[in-house]
Chain A
Amino acid sequence: MKRNVMVILTLILAMSTMLAACGGKNNNNEASSPAASPSASPSAPASESASPSEETVEPFTVSLRHIQIGEPQKFRKAILDEVVKRSEAEVPGVKFELDGIEDAVNRFTKLPAEMAAGNPPKIFDLFGGNADALKYAKAGRLLDLTPILDELGIKDKFLNVFGQFTLDGKIYGLPIGGSVEGVFYNTEIFQANDLNAPTTWDDLVKAADALKAKGITPFAMGSQAAWVPNMLVGTLVGRFANGFPNGIVTGEVKWNSPEVVGALSLYQDWVKNGYFTKGELGKSYDDMLNDFAAGKAGMMFDGSWRSSAFKEGAVAASMTGKVGFVALPALPNAAGDQTSLNANFSNGYGFSSDLDENELKAVKSFIKNLYNDEMQLRGLLEDGVLPSMKLSDESLAKVTDPVVKQVLDVMKAAGSTFVHFDAIAQKPVYSETELQLQKLIAGKATAQEFGDAVQKVQEVENAK
Chain B
Amino acid sequence: MKNALRNPASYLMFIIPTIALYGLFFLYPMFSSVVYAFTNWNGLEETKFIGMANFETAFGDSNFRSAIINNMYFIVFSVGLQVPIIVLLALLISNVKRFKGFYKTTVFIPSILSTSVIGILWGFIYDPDIGPISAALKFFGIEPIYWLADSKWAMIALLLTNAWQWVGFFIVLILAAILAIPKDIDEAAAIDGANGTQRAWYLTIPLIKPIISVVVMLSIAGAMRVVDIVLVMTNGGPAGTTEVMASYMVNKAIKYGDYGYGMALSIIIFAFALVFTAIYQLTLGKTERIEY
A residues bordering B, Cβ < 8 Å?
3-4, 7-8, 10-11, 14-15, 18, 108-109, 112-113, 115-117, 135-136, 138-139, 141, 224, 278-283, 427-428, 431, 435, 438-439, 441-442, 444-445
Contacts and interface: CB of A to CB of B under 8 A. Distances in A.
Given A116-B44, A431-B255, A281 B3 contact: no
Interface string B143-172: 000111111000000000000000000000
B4 A7 contact: yes
B255 A14 contact: no
Contacts of A116: 42-44, 257, 259
B178 to A, nearest CB: 41
A427 B146 contact: no
Contacts of A428: 256, 258
B255 A18 contact: no
B17 A279 contact: no
Interface residues of B, number: 35
A332 B259 CA distance: 45
Interface string B74-118: 000000000000000000000000000000000000000000000
B254 A435 contact: no
A278 B13 contact: no
Interface of B: 3-4, 7, 9-10, 12-13, 16-17, 20-21, 42-45, 63, 128, 146-151, 235, 237-241, 254-259
Contacts of A8: 9
A141 B239 contact: no
Contacts, number: 98
B148 A282 contact: yes
Nearest to B127: A282
B13 A14 contact: yes
A104 to B, nearest CB: 9
Contact of B146 (A3, A4, A278, A438): A278
A112 B256 CA distance: 8
A138 B149 contact: no
Given A3-B4, A282-B237, A444-B239, 17 more contacts: A7-B7, A7-B9, A14-B13, A14-B17, A15-B16, A112-B43, A112-B254, A116-B257, A138-B45, A278-B146, A280-B149, A281-B239, A282-B146, A283-B149, A431-B255, A431-B256, A444-B151
Contact of A115 (B10, B44, B150, B239): B44
A281 B255 contact: no
Nearest to B45: A139
